Amino acid sequence: MVTALLGKKLGMTRIFTEDGRWIPVTVLEAGPCTVTQVKTKERDGYEAVQLGFEDAKKSRMTKAALGHQSKVSDAAKRRLGEVALAPGSELKPGDEVRVDIFSVGEHVDIAGTTKGKGFAGVHKRHHFKGGPGTHGSNFHRAPGSIGQSADPSKVVKGKRLPGHMGNERNTTRNLEVVKVDAEKNLLVILGAVPGANGGYVEVKKRVKGSK
Amino acid sequence: MKFAKAVEALSQEQKQAAEKVPQFRIGDTVRVHFRIVEGEKERIQVFEGVIISRSGGTGANARFTVRRVAFGEGVERVFPLHSPRVEKVEVIREGKVCRAKLYYLRERAGKAARVKAKGRSTTAKDEQ
């Protein structure tokens, strides 16, 4: 069995639980994934499998990508990703893994690419307080002083400043699985998941807090 | 699979789970029987007032707003239409209104804030 699946964020909605609570959920399409390559201790130095998700048109793929996958099967997968194997389990190239590796009530970590925010100021990017909006103030959203003068005569490394924000990989941990639809390959998760609708995500068995 | 399809499927399921959809129209005076869970105990709370809006369309996310004036203070509560906690909605009186949203009631007080009853013979006064 694998410890993670590749998927896609479809969007958010609300559903009722059995006891009548109305909860916000994210709907993910997770799997089915095909094993496209198996990495072994002898050859690669570690054990893992490479999964392929979502069919692609062959004419849209590069020959290199097609060639790599043609060793396993005829189908071309758009998205490839490497995931770890659960101890003691074994998979062959061409095997299929589905969303049923997750169960309701289980907690998962979900990684995705966050929405790009462009060049953002310190207010938005680092949650700086900023100055007062009124009362004659001319200091609103600027970063303020970024250091001392002649000594040390430089800006310290790691100083939080404006810059590009978002569009980077981010993992949200310990999200609860509310529903698993093996037929439609859907995973319903409590709460929000990084990234825009239609973005690719990786759903992993949780790392922290598991017994 | 497209999001719309997936959500449609989910929402169908939810709507079916909520066996019966309450039937009422904007302007009706209703009694909403709402199940309240306090730890182990459960009880039914009744909220009586006028339906002033309905939102969320035909999906499982649909909601309705009930307004009443309690102790001289306007109180509005929004209930999910398909919630399993909404036990039933009793229509006490059907109202005759010309709007889909009765937000104008918020600016009115006393007699001006009444909604005309449907039908010729009965007036609000008669029924009370």
Per cent of chain A over pLDDT 90 is 36
**Looking at the structure, do residues A92 and A106 belong to the same domain, yes or no?**
no
Reply yes or no: is the peptide bond before residue A32 cis, omega within 30 of 0.
yes
pLDDT confidence band for A125 (50 / 70 / 90) = very high
Cβ(A50)–Cβ(B98) under 8 Å? no
Query: In this structure, are strands A48-55 and A77-83 parallel, antiparallel, or unpaired?
Result: antiparallel
Phi, psi dihedral angles at A47 (to 5 degrees) = -105, 130
Cβ(B14)–Cβ(B82) under 8 Å? yes
Please list every residue in chain A whose beta carbon sits closer than 8 Å to the beta carbon of residue B84: 16, 18, 20
Contact B7 A13 (CB under 8 A): yes
Contact A11 B3 (CB under 8 A): yes
> A26 CA to chain B: closest CA distance, Å?
10
**Looking at the structure, do residues A176 and A192 belong to the same domain, yes or no?**
yes
Q: Which residue has the higher pLDDT, A75 or A142?
A: A142
CATH for A192: 2.40.30.10
pLDDT of residue A17: 84
**Looking at the structure, do residues A210 and A178 belong to the same domain, yes or no?**
yes
Residue pairs between chains A and B whose CB atoms are closer than 8 Å: 49
Model confidence at B58: pLDDT above 70: yes
Who among A13, A18, A22 is closest to B80 (CB)? A22
Question: Rounded CA gap, A202 and A190, in Å?
Answer: 16
Model confidence at A169: pLDDT above 50: yes
Question: Rounded CA gap, B66 and B26, in Å?
Answer: 10
Per cent of chain B over pLDDT 90 is 16
Model confidence at B121: pLDDT above 70: no
> B6 CA to chain A: closest CA distance, Å?
8
Chain A residue with the nearest C-alpha to that of B42? A19
Contact B80 A197 (CB under 8 A): no
Model confidence at A124: pLDDT above 80: yes
pLDDT of residue B127: 46
CATH for A51: 3.30.160.810
Query: In this structure, are strands A107-113 and A169-181 parallel, antiparallel, or unpaired?
Result: antiparallel
pLDDT confidence band for A118 (50 / 70 / 90) = very high
> A31 CA to chain B: closest CA distance, Å?
11
Domain of residue A15 covers 1-31+99-116+161-211
**Looking at the structure, do residues A43 and A90 belong to the same domain, yes or no?**
yes
| Residue A202 within any structural domain of the chain | yes
pLDDT of residue B17: 63
Model confidence at A164: pLDDT above 90: yes
Model confidence at B100: pLDDT above 80: yes
**Looking at the structure, do residues A176 and A87 belong to the same domain, yes or no?**
no
Query: Both tokens of residue B37?
Result: 């869970």
> A178 CA to chain B: closest CA distance, Å?
12
Angle at A48 between CA A64 and CA A194, to 5 degrees: 80
Contact A184 B6 (CB under 8 A): yes
Please list every residue in chain B whose beta carbon sits closer than 8 Å to the beta carbon of residue A29: 1, 6
Contact B6 A29 (CB under 8 A): yes
Question: Rounded CA gap, A207 and A209, in Å?
Answer: 7
Angle at B89 between CA B83 and CA B93, to 5 degrees: 150
Which of the residue ranges A12-16, A59-63, B57-61, B100-104 has the most confident prediction, judged by mean pLDDT?
Answer: B100-104
**Looking at the structure, do residues A19 and A70 belong to the same domain, yes or no?**
no
Mean pLDDT of chain A: 88
| Residue A147 within any structural domain of the chain | no
Cβ(A162)–Cβ(A119) under 8 Å? yes
DSSP conformational letter for A85:
B
Closest CA to A206 of A105, A121, A125, A79: A105
Contact B10 A27 (CB under 8 A): yes
| Residue A108 within any structural domain of the chain | yes
The total number of structural domains in chain A stands at 2
**Looking at the structure, do residues A87 and A26 belong to the same domain, yes or no?**
no
Boundary of a domain, candidates A97, A125, A141:
A97
| Residue A23 within any structural domain of the chain | yes
pLDDT confidence band for B120 (50 / 70 / 90) = low
**Looking at the structure, do residues A50 and A78 belong to the same domain, yes or no?**
yes
pLDDT of residue A209: 67
Contact B1 A15 (CB under 8 A): no
Chain A residue with the nearest C-alpha to that of B86? A20
> A181 CA to chain B: closest CA distance, Å?
10
Contact B3 A197 (CB under 8 A): yes
B45 forms beta bridges with B34
Contact B6 A197 (CB under 8 A): no
**Looking at the structure, do residues A2 and A78 belong to the same domain, yes or no?**
no
**Looking at the structure, do residues A87 and A42 belong to the same domain, yes or no?**
yes
Mean pLDDT of chain B: 81
pLDDT of residue A76: 84
| Other CB atoms within 10 A of residue A190 CB | 16
| Residue A42 within any structural domain of the chain | yes
DSSP conformational letter for B7:
H
**Looking at the structure, do residues A37 and A13 belong to the same domain, yes or no?**
no
Give chain B's domains with CATH numbers.
23-115 (2.30.30.790)
pLDDT of residue B94: 87
* Distances B66 to A21, A43, B32, B77 between C-alpha atoms, Å: 20, 68, 9, 5
Please list every residue in chain B whose beta carbon sits closer than 8 Å to the beta carbon of residue A18: 84
Closest CA to B77 of B97, B98, B63: B63
Q: What is the mean pLDDT of residues B23-51?
A: 88
| Residue A176 within any structural domain of the chain | yes
**Looking at the structure, do residues A11 and A84 belong to the same domain, yes or no?**
no
Chain A residue with the nearest C-alpha to that of B35? A20
pLDDT confidence band for B128 (50 / 70 / 90) = very low
| Residue A122 within any structural domain of the chain | no
pLDDT confidence band for B53 (50 / 70 / 90) = very high
Q: What is the DSSP string of A27-54?
A: EEEE--EEEEEEE-HHHHSS-EEEEEEE
Closest CA to B60 of B27, B15, B90: B15
Which of the residue ranges A6-20, A36-50, A191-205, B108-122 has the most confident prediction, judged by mean pLDDT?
Answer: A191-205
Give the list of residues 6+ apart from residue B87 with CB closer than 8 angstroms, or none. B33, B34, B35, B44
| Residue A153 within any structural domain of the chain | no
Q: What is the mean pLDDT of residues A137-148?
A: 90
Question: Rounded CA gap, A187 and B42, in Å?
Answer: 31
Who among A18, A20, A188 is closest to B83 (CB)? A20
pLDDT of residue B1: 59
Q: What is the mean pLDDT of residues A180-187?
A: 87
> A97 CA to chain B: closest CA distance, Å?
18
Q: Please write the tens of the pLDDT for every residue from A54-95.
A: 888 888 888 888 888 887 777 788 888 888 887 777 788 878
Query: Both tokens of residue B54?
Result: 């309905």
Give the list of residues 6+ apart from residue B70 with CB closer than 8 angstroms, or none. none
